[in-house]
Amino acid sequence: MYKIKISSQRLKHTPLPSLSLSLSSFPPPFHHEQPPPPLPLLQPLLPPPHRHLPSATALRRSPPPPPPTTSPPSTTASTTSLPLLHHLSTSTPATTTTTSPHLPLPLRAPPRRVLPRRPRPLWHSLLKSLASSPSSLPTAHSLLLFLHSHNLLFSYDLPLSILIHSPHHSLYHSFLLSLSHSLSRPLSPLSYNALIAACARHRDFDKALNLLTRMRADGILSDHANYSLIIQSLLRADRLELGVLERLCGDLQLDRIEIDGHLYNDLIVGFAKAGDVDRAVSLLGEFEGQGLSPKTATLVAVISALGGLGRTVEAEAVFEELKEGGARPRTRAYNALLKGYVKKGALRDAESIVGEMERAGVLPDEHTYSLLIDAYANAGRWESSRIVLKEMEESNVRPNSFVFSRILASYRDRGDWQKSFSVLREMRNNGVRPDRHFYNVMIDTFGKYNCLEHVVSTFERMKSDGIEPDNVTWNTLIDCHCKSGRYDRADELFEEMQASGCSPCTTTYNIMINSKGQQEKWDDVKNLLSRMQSEGLLPNVVTYTTLIDCYGQSGRFNDAIECLEVIKSTGLKPSLTMYHALVNAYAQRGLSDQAVNAFKVMRADGLNPSIPVLNSLINAFGEDRRDAEAFSVLQYMKENELKPDVVTYTTLMKALIRVEKFDKVPSVYEEMILSGITPDKKARAMLRSALRYMRSTLKS
């Protein structure tokens, strides 16, 4: 047995004889230095006895206790049943070092009881493993219920969140799990967070926002993570919903959450991609006003949004801000600015930014070349586009199908659909195989100019190349047949689409509703609406606009007005296109008073009139032979800084011809040219018609 001698010289003002203490009288410092006595099997479940450490005074005044006798550890079945206790009871004690006599005697802590480790991590690992496969997911459900019913879980919330977060778990089952849990007690913040994450993963943003509202009602404060999850899922969605973003901003204010840098960046990118670039720029100003620096990707998103609207001056300012901030613009930043120049038709600026890009040592990518080719194609410089294709080959950037689809789309928008075949030949000469997107653009090009034979042949060629049609392909194909009056074939294609395993979307139903409405098959329209809703597809703005237009064109104005009332009853606000469809329907029947009433209701709903709506109002007065009121609409446009277009002046000339005021038509045509508007084919036809009537009047 080891003993420590403490000299009396170490004890100041209290001369004592030398004191000899046994180490065995004090608890060991660690469990590996001295094995503890064996414990019964049930002892870890009982509270430990309270031990009193001897004070320093007691050590000085009391004689040393006799060393206790220790018996060898027992190896009964009760101790060997616990592996850890068996290991501790049979382990060899470590060598103990002697404490220096010049140091005070250290006091030892009481021995720590060895408790069996809780099995919670094991259950969590097992649940994660079972939830990772769709085949074992039911087993994970059963295991969770078993653990919960036998009170084997320290916390039910974490295992519940594991199953909710499973990639193979549907949102419906996630809500069932949380509902079964919430019947016994309210949802915890962890369960709320897991459900919000599941909603964000499944792109069900309405449920996610409702969960935030329910959290607030339960007195649970949300955090930045929930909002970031929803916003980032929005950014990854195919179509970013502006209404969801606006509601998120309102919830942030209700929860009194201070927007941090991460949320600011996400919100700015979200509003920029959703098309509300003014809100994005405003948030960017607030962000920088707090002395924070936005991410490069955030500035690139704002530049791209501004460029997409042709607001190149503001885009250039943000681009310069990016450079002044010390960041070196990369390819994506240059492409965002180049996109604005192409959108605006500023070919010189587009060439200039590409030159600056090369001088800065930034290599162009496929998107850069495709935008430059698009700019040349819009300007009608096909040879320049071919030169860019050669430059791509020299730069080891192989043109892909997207580049040629951009060229094809530019020709489509300019009306040069005949050049589609030359683009296809050039594409094959470069060894590029057309993909689904290229075929969709080609089918849409032929359909836009009523070339139904080319539409069908392109569709057959697409299938022969082994490319499966998608929703865009089927929708374009059905719409082309509807516009050509081939309604029976459109119905057959609608059935073929579903037989091929491609489910109709809201756009598909909108096309079919428009087809049945033009045929005045109102029972079929109602059946399509019922079928659409039974498949979980809700009518959108296009659906209601199509219904209003079909009802109005057929003279069923009461049904059209009822559609507007249904929209208002659901809490939605009728759009400008809906009122335009109603005003246009009244105009085509010469019902100018009803058109004026619809215009007044639109203004009462807080909607500002657009040029198409005012043009329809001019047409209504013209069809009703009220040319003075038609010209008063033109005066209203000028007073409210609304620039008339070629349709405005063409409709006014038609109104004058209807009341046989042919001599005033040339002055309207001249005013159109002086205002900088290029007359189209229909405007020139109106002028020729008026001049022809004037000549016939002079001859007679």
CATH number of the domain to which 318 belongs: 1.25.40.10
Residues 277, 263: contact at Cβ < 8 Å? no
290, part of any domain = yes
The winner for highest mean pLDDT among 174-183, 202-211, 268-277, 501-510 is: 501-510
Instruction: Tell me the backbone φ, ψ of residue 50, rounded to 5 degrees.
Output: -80, 125
- What does the block give as tokens for 10? 């170490």
292 shares a domain with 221: no
236 shares a domain with 267: no
HEC string of 394-452?
HCCCCCCHHHHHHHHHHHHHHCCHHHHHHHHHHHHHCCCCCCHHHHHHHHHHHHHCCCH
C-alpha dist (Å) from residue 592 to 557, 598, 665: 14, 10, 22
Place of tokens 């670039």: 277
- What does the block give as tokens for 174? 């996630």
- What does the block give as tokens for 182? 């919430």
User: What is the rounded distance in angstroms from the CA atom of residue 75 to the CA atom of residue 89?
Assistant: 8
679 shares a domain with 587: yes
User: What is the rounded distance in angstroms from the CA atom of residue 655 to the CA atom of residue 104?
Assistant: 112
Place of tokens 């996400």: 266
Query: What H or E segment, with its residue span, contains residue 311?
Result: none
Cα of 96 vs its chain's centroid, Å? 65
60, part of any domain = no
User: What is the rounded distance in angstroms from the CA atom of residue 671 to the CA atom of residue 661?
Assistant: 16
Instruction: Select from 611, 609, 689 the least CA-distant residue to 647.
Output: 611
103, part of any domain = no
pLDDT at 595: 92
303, part of any domain = yes
Taking residues 614-619, report their average pLDDT.
94
266 shares a domain with 230: no
Instruction: Tell me the backbone φ, ψ of residue 466, rounded to 5 degrees.
Output: 80, 20
pLDDT digits (tens, 9 = 90+) for 347-401: 889 889 989 988 989 988 888 888 888 888 778 787 787 788 888 878 888 788 8
3-class secondary structure, 66? coil
What's the domain count of the chain?
A: 3
370, part of any domain = no
606, part of any domain = yes
pLDDT digits (tens, 9 = 90+) for 637-683: 999 889 999 999 999 999 999 998 988 999 999 999 999 898 888 88
| Total residues belonging to the chain | 700
627 shares a domain with 596: yes
Instruction: Select from 579, 674, 681 the least CA-distant residue to 620.
Output: 579
pLDDT band at 25 (very low <50, low <70, confident <90, very high): very low
280, part of any domain = yes
Instruction: Give the domain extent around 649.
Output: 564-699
Sorted by sequence, the CB contacts under 8 Å of residue 552 that are 6+ apart come out as 560, 581, 582, 584, 585, 586
Residues 315, 340: contact at Cβ < 8 Å? yes
- What does the block give as tokens for 305? 């949004």
Taking residues 300-329, report their average pLDDT.
88
Sorted by sequence, the CB contacts under 8 Å of residue 128 that are 6+ apart come out as 162
Query: What H or E segment, with its residue span, contains residue 312?
Result: helix 312-324
Residue 242 half-sphere exposure, CB side, CA atoms within 13 Å? 10
Instruction: Select from 123, 126, 94 the least CA-distant residue to 29.
Output: 94
Given a cut of 80, is residue 258 above it in pLDDT? no
Domain end position, chosen among 363, 396, 420: 363
pLDDT at 384: 84
Please give the angle made by the CA atoms of 217, 187 and 254, to the nearest 5 degrees.
25
User: What is the rounded distance in angstroms from the CA atom of residue 295 to the CA atom of residue 265?
Assistant: 7
Cα of 680 vs its chain's centroid, Å? 40
Given a cut of 70, is residue 229 above it in pLDDT? yes
Given a cut of 90, is residue 514 above it in pLDDT? yes
Sorted by sequence, the CB contacts under 8 Å of residue 380 that are 6+ apart come out as 414
Given a cut of 50, is residue 171 above it in pLDDT? no
Give burial (CB, 10 Å; 0-12/13-18/19+) of 318. Answer: buried
Domain end position, chosen among 363, 393, 424: 363
Given a cut of 60, is residue 570 above it in pLDDT? yes
694 shares a domain with 662: yes
Domain end position, chosen among 205, 240, 275: 240
Select the more confidently predicted residue: 627 or 11.
627
Select the more confidently predicted residue: 6 or 259.
259
342 shares a domain with 217: no
pLDDT digits (tens, 9 = 90+) for 525-550: 999 999 998 988 888 889 999 999 99
Residues 548, 564: contact at Cβ < 8 Å? yes
Q: Which of 285-289, 393-397, 489-493, 593-597 is predicted with the least confidence, judged by mean pLDDT?
A: 393-397
327 shares a domain with 296: yes
User: What is the rounded distance in angstroms from the CA atom of residue 355 to the CA atom of residue 467?
Assistant: 38
3-class secondary structure, 591? coil
685 shares a domain with 570: yes
Sorted by sequence, the CB contacts under 8 Å of residue 210 that are 6+ apart come out as none
575, part of any domain = yes
310 shares a domain with 217: no
274 shares a domain with 217: no
690 shares a domain with 576: yes
C-alpha dist (Å) from residue 666 to 613, 673, 684: 25, 11, 10
In the chain the first and final C-alpha atoms are separated, in Å, by 142
